[in-house]
């Protein structure tokens, strides 16, 4: 393997970003190990609300600096949005507790209870990592393993957004409580903007797979980052199947041809930035020895050809659709959740097409800021409408609605203050929640299939849903008036079915299990699991793919026996499941 360009003369800050499931965490962790082996002191930071850095290193990390004992010179930190938000609330409320009347303190706590505070607090810690001189003296490099692209772009936009918002002044309509701790941070945010846009201090590594949606995402990210002033960018295309590993296997040949075709037709936006190719490994990238091999100049070693054990018949996607039809009474909300890159968009599209093909009205939508529904579908079908919750469009719609309602009652000065407040970055979170709630209501008379954002972003959306429910319950609970909130609908198994999508790999299964636990704490019981892209069910004969297939078996067993009340397994497809015709085959019961 050629020397990797993104590792040459690395600056202080290295950001790994890209579509979910492309291998950002593995590459970030492997890079951190590589730099420590060059004698550097390194901190690896996860900004993903559903971080799995701890799982990769096999240790609990959390929201404070943790020394990784297996790698001398390496420390780690996971920005935990909930813990960070609580610390932020304590900093604001603590000084006034016992000083102001208890009713005032409770009012402040209520203002600080929503998702807006969670975002501000996580962002506050992020900017501190970029600007804290004491911290920067301890490390030669800080490696950021970021959330999937849409969430990361949002995080990187925030230093400039908050800096501009504070410079222009603020109102008092939507985020007064959360904003109360921001003013003193003005210079920190301005410094963060300076750091991010300095190519001598910050390098962005765009991670992708040799897949059309992933490469298009990388091209969009490149342009968005360039617009933010982040010019120092590298491209890493991860998980490439070497031609030497085809070994006469029809599946391996199809994969190799598909990847080579994508490499020859890169989107124009990323054709000229420095690029590296990282080969597919036969093993799961968990633990320090495996991570060391990822960036090794030697080809990954794998076992000789083995005889695959015979697998018992597995329920297919069509069987789940049949159950949905039997239990759905012609309508209901289906939410597909899971780690980025596990195929939620594909599974949501296949289920929506299967239901529409059975004659039911279906609304297929997404809450993912980096949505690819139209690219995946590539066509239309009777009974099916497709949409996405566009954060920018929803924010503008929300602003106009607030100005038309609350703004009408204000004088000119009051309207100006309200307009300023609605320019707060918090407004986007509120607007997206309103759109989410609106779509949920449609499920009363049709099937609504929602392709959600990757786990961390979805949990933040559920946090906003829970905060809204608590607020309504507080206002109406004592009056005896009946009420229904979006959270109550999500908790009702007659109205909502949550399907957790995963791959048969260690990290996605662990993250899916953690997601299930979080949902249960919120009173939401997942209805089914879908194991997507299973090589074991595709019966490869190429040694590298066979070893990956064998590694799937313990994870499949963990899902079937330990996590899922019902499940389906979808085999790896030789042809990419893009377009209506191919997607429809996933939801058709071939035994009928």
Catalytic-labelled residue, pool 19, 20, 36, 48: 48
Residue 150's contacts (CB-CB under 8 Å, 6 or more residues apart) are 368, 369, 370, 453, 457
**Residue 226 token pair:** 């360039």
507 is catalytic: yes
Query: How much is the pTM?
Result: 0.74
- What is the Cα–Cα distance from 507 to 510, expressed in whole angstroms? 5
Catalytic, out of 17, 20, 26, 465: 26
Verify whether residue 26 is a known catalytic residue: yes
CB 147 within 8 A of CB 411: no
- Catalytic one of 18, 20, 25, 346: 25
Q: Which long-range contacts link 558-565 to residues 24+ away (Cβ below 8 Å)?
A: 558/509, 559/502, 559/504, 559/509, 559/512, 559/529, 559/531, 563/509, 563/512, 563/513, 563/516, 563/529, 564/500, 564/526, 564/528, 564/529, 565/526, 565/527, 565/528
Q: What is the pLDDT along the chain (592 residues), one digit of tens a residue?
A: 567 899 999 999 998 988 777 888 889 999 999 999 999 999 998 877 666 777 788 787 877 788 888 899 999 888 776 676 677 677 767 777 777 777 766 766 665 655 556 656 666 777 777 888 888 889 999 998 876 544 445 555 555 554 554 455 544 434 434 444 445 455 666 777 778 888 899 898 999 999 888 898 889 888 888 887 888 899 999 999 999 888 889 999 999 999 999 999 999 999 999 999 999 988 777 778 888 888 876 655 665 556 666 776 789 999 999 999 988 788 999 989 888 778 888 999 999 999 998 999 999 988 765 556 666 766 667 888 888 877 778 888 878 888 888 778 778 777 777 776 666 656 766 777 777 778 878 888 899 998 876 544 555 555 555 554 455 455 445 555 554 566 667 778 888 899 999 999 888 898 899 888 888 887 889 999 999 999 999 989 898 999 899 989 999 999 999 999 999 999 998 888 887 888 888 866 544 3
Catalytic annotation, pick one of 20, 23, 73, 407: 23
**Distance of alpha carbon 545 from alpha carbon 567, whole angstroms:** 24
The crossing angle, in degrees rounded to 10, of helices 115-131 and 81-93 is: 90
Q: Check residue 37 and report its DSSP letter.
A: T
Q: 39-61 in b/e burial notation, b at 16+ Cβ within 10 A?
A: eebbbbbbbbbbbbbbbbbeeeb
What pLDDT, on a 0 to 100 scale, did the predictor assign at position 173?
Answer: 38
Q: Give me the residue label for tokens 């009928």.
A: 592
Instruction: Reply yes or no on whether 23 is catalytic.
Output: yes
Please confirm, yes or no, whether 297 is among the known catalytic residues. no
Element (H, E) at 495: none
For 120, counting Cβ atoms within 10 Å of its Cβ (0-12 exposed, 13-18 middle, 19+ buried), the class is buried
Domains of the chain: 8-164+191-294 (3.40.50.300), 317-390+438-586 (3.40.50.300)
CA distance 62 to 60: 6
Q: Which residue of the set 18, 20, 21, 114 is catalytic?
A: 21
**Beta strands per DSSP E along 191-265:** 202-209, 233-240
Q: Which of 24, 170, 339, 344 is catalytic?
A: 24
**Strands lying side by side in the sheet with 275-279:** 66-67, 74-78, 42-46, 141-145, 13-17, 202-209, 233-240, 275-279
The Cα 117–Cα 123 span in angstroms is 10
By three-state DSSP, how is residue 70 classified? coil
Question: What distance in Å separates the CA atoms of residue 587 and residue 592, rounded to the nearest whole number?
Answer: 12
- How high is the pLDDT of residue 175? 43
Task: Indicate which residue of 51, 163, 213, 507 is catalytic.
Answer: 507
Structure confidence at residue 476 (pLDDT) = 45
Backbone dihedral angles phi then psi of residue 204, each to the nearest 5 degrees: -100, 125
Active-site residue flag, 25: yes
């Amino acid at each position: 393997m050629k020397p990797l360009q993104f590792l040459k003369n690395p600056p202080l800050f290295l950001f790994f970003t890209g579509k979910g499931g492309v291998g950002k965490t593995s590459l970030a962790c492997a890079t951190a190990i590589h730099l420590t082996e060059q004698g550097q002191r390194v901190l690896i930071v996860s900004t993903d609300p559903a971080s799995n850095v701890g799982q990769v290193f096999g240790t609990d990390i959390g929201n404070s600096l943790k020394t990784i004992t297996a790698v001398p010179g390496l420390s780690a930190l996971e920005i935990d949005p909930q813990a960070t938000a609580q610390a932020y609330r304590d900093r604001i409320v603590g000084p006034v507790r016992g000083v102001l009347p208890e009713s005032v303190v409770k009012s402040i706590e209520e203002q600080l209870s929503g998702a807006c505070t969670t975002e501000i607090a996580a962002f506050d810690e992020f900017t501190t990592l970029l600007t804290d001189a004491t911290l920067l003296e301890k490390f030669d490099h800080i490696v950021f393993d970021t959330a999937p692209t849409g969430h990361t772009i949002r995080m990187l936009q925030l230093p400039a957004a908050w800096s501009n918002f504070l410079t222009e002044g603020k109102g008092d309509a939507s985020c007064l409580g959360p904003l109360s701790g921001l003013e003193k941070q003005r210079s920190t945010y301005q410094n963060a903007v300076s750091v991010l846009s300095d190519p001598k201090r910050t390098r962005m590594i765009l991670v992708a797979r040799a897949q059309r949606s992933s490469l298009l995402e990388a091209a969009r990210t490149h342009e968005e980052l360039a617009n933010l002033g982040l010019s120092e960018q590298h491209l890493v295309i991860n998980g490439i199947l070497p031609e030497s590993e085809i070994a006469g296997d029809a599946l391996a040949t199809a994969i190799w041809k598909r990847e080579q075709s994508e490499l020859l037709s890169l989107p124009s936006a990323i054709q000229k930035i420095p690029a590296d190719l990282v080969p597919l490994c036969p093993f799961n990238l968990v633990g320090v020895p495996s991570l060391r091999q990822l960036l090794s100049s030697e080809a990954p070693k794998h076992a000789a050809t083995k005889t695959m054990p015979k697998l018992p018949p597995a329920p297919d996607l069509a069987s789940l659709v049949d159950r949905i039809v039997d239990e759905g009474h012609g309508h209901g909300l289906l939410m597909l959740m899971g780690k980025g890159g596990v195929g939620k968009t594909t599974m949501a599209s296949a289920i929506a097409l299967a239901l529409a093909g059975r004659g039911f009205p279906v609304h297929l939508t997404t809450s993912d800021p980096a949505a690819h529904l139209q690219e995946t579908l590539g066509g239309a079908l009777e009974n099916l409408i497709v949409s996405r919750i566009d954060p920018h469009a929803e924010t503008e719609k929300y602003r106009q609605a607030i100005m038309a309602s609350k703004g009408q009652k204000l004088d000119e000065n009051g309207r100006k203050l309200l307009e300023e407040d609605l320019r707060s970055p918090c407004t986007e979170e509120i607007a997206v929640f309103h759109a989410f709630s609106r779509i949920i209501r449609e499920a009363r008379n049709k099937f609504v299939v929602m392709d959600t954002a990757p786990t961390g972003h979805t949990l933040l959306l559920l946090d906003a849903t829970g905060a809204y429910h608590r607020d309504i319950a507080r206002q109406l609970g004592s009056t005896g008036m009946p009420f229904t909130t979006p959270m109550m609908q999500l908790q009702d198994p007659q109205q909502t079915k949550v399907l957790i999508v995963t791959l048969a790999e260690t990290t996605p299964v662990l993250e899916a299990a953690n997601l299930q636990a979080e949902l249960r704490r919120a009173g939401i019981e997942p209805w089914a699991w879908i194991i997507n892209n299973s090589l074991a069910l595709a019966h490869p004969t190429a040694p590298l793919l066979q070893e990956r297939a064998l590694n799937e078996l313990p994870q499949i067993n963990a899902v079937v026996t330990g996590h899922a009340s019902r499940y389906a397994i979808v085999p790896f497809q030789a042809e990419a499941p893009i377009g209506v015709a191919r997607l429809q085959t996933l939801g058709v019961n071939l035994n009928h």
